[in-house]
Amino acid sequence: MLSAKDLGVLDSFSVSGYHVQDWITDLKSKFEIMNRKEEEQKLKTMETKLYKLLSDDKKVELELDEIAELLR
């Protein structure tokens, strides 16, 4: 099976008025965004689980640090 590259039409082929390379770039970007969102959700879930494991004193300390940072 030959690819568009092999046939020499990759540079001239368009879909719905957009160059095929633009479609490829857009799809790769969309895929990266989806992966980042998925990874971000996993990290937020882990952060929530870890926060539940903290002692009350440590939670208060972190909240105070966050407030102090906002006041700077």
Write the DSSP string, 16-40.
Answer: TTEEHHHHHHHHHHHHHHHHHHHHH
CA nearest to 27, candidates 44, 15, 39 = 15
Q: Tens digits of per-residue pLDDT, 45-54?
A: 999 999 999 9
Q: What is the pLDDT of residue 48?
A: 95
Structure tokens that stand for 48 in this block:
């929530």
Q: What is the pLDDT of residue 43?
A: 97
- Structural domain boundaries of the chain? 4-71
Q: What's the CA dihedral at 18, 20, 21, 25 to 10 degrees?
A: 80
Q: Tens digits of per-residue pLDDT, 3-32?
A: 777 777 767 778 888 888 898 899 999 999
